[in-house]
Structure 1
Amino acid sequence: MSTQLKTPPSDDWLPSLEDTPFQRIGGEEAVHALVGAFYDAMDAHEPALARLHVLDADGKVDRGTRERFGLFLIGWLGGPQHYSERHGHPRLRMRHGHVPVDTGARDAWLRSMQRALDARGVTGGLRRFLEERFNQTADFLRNTEG
């Protein structure tokens, strides 16, 4: 099954109940592919940020972290609520409270996501929508000056 994005050439897309970001990006497999590209970009280009996560024997962000973020992102994008079913409410600020998130960490996270969106070919209105939402959420999670 292909994980290619279902982004039409139109640049004016906005989410709706009938056309969610989850549907637009291509469903669960595509979200997991985006998450893989995100952590691969983080491992390759943002090692200080990667070290804030649990790492595997190869020094890469571990599979469990990737899986949890994939489940979260599926629900956040309007798909099935697998994360909440397995782990409860996301409570993003609480779950990130032990991690110092300053502007540098926020920006490194956003750079990793931009690389992942590039790698997955996300463009147009979907790209604009996701970048805006990721920017808002990443800024909301800042808990340290700087």
Structure 2
Amino acid sequence: MTSGPPPDPTSLRSAKTMDKGGWRTLPAEGRPGDLPEWPLTEATDRELDLWHDLWAKPQAVMWEEMGQALEVALFARTLAEAERADARVDVKKMVRGYLDSLGLSVAGMNRNRWKIAPAIEEPVEVPSAAPAPARRPSARDRLKVVPSGEGP
């Protein structure tokens, strides 16, 4: 566990670290390619679902680069166990630790000095605005101006 707040990529002090190559921008579309081979003993269906979902995340680019398939598999197995209704508290705490160390939490992203690139959005066609409804006449519109000097 580290002490102090996580680094802030927008702060001036962190900007100095960023100049040294400290921050890494991950692709918003996630990691392309095939899944790594499951490194543990026989996986459950839930573990394989988590394994598939995890390797599609932007952070998976870094896990692959750093050879963290075993850590990701252990996280998937621990998370599947923590999801059970009778899960022990220490298992749930382990999940929190994995979230941080694998960069799956905001604090973990900051500690690993990772940020996700903005997603490229497809242009959205905006329908043309409908004509404004006709304005109802107000009480003021019904008043008639009578020039002075004219009268009954």
Structure 1-normalised TM-score?
0.29
Larger Rg: 2
Bigger relative CO (Cα 8 Å, ≥ 6 apart): 1
